[in-house]
Amino acid sequence: MKETILVVEDGDAVRNLVCLMLVENGYRVLEARDGHHALRVCEKHPESIQLVLTDQMMPNMKGADLAERLRRARPGLRILLMSGYAQEPVAERLGCGPVAFLPKPFTSVELVAKIRQVLEG
């Protein structure tokens, strides 16, 4: 079974590139343009989502806030925050549970390696 990753990124070009990298590496990908869209995607996708890869800084809902809401609906969901601004996962300090962090920019190799690390716990 392919692992499913939800990519949440408000920048179309970045989201499209990240999704392409993941598909090329054998992942099933769901995508959302912001936190509210991500919540709707999760509601409509009853199957398991193994990981949410979300930008930390988005309009209307930050990645940490999204992580907290998604974890309430799906306990144990793995979260990987990405950001070109923060040097550490802000969500860790907000109490939404353990998160991993990937600084932007990143290569396809770095992305896949970090995802494997997070999925394998």
Q: What 3 state SS string does 46-106 have?
A: CCCCCEEEEECCCCCCCHHHHHHHHHHHCCCCEEEEEECCCCCCHHHHHCCCCCEEEECCC
Q: What is the CATH number of the domain that holds 76?
A: 3.40.50.2300
Please give the Cα distance from 7 to 82 (Å, whole number): 10
Residue 91 in this model has a pLDDT that exceeds 70: no
Instruction: Write down the mean pLDDT value for the chain.
Output: 89
SS3 45: coil
Residue type, 31: E
Q: Which domain holds residue 91?
A: 4-119
pLDDT tens readout for residues 11-66: 999 999 999 999 999 999 999 999 999 999 999 998 899 999 999 889 889 888 99
pLDDT more than 90, % of the chain: 65
Chain-centroid distance of CA 88 in Å reads 15
Structural domain count, the chain: 1
pLDDT of residue 2: 87
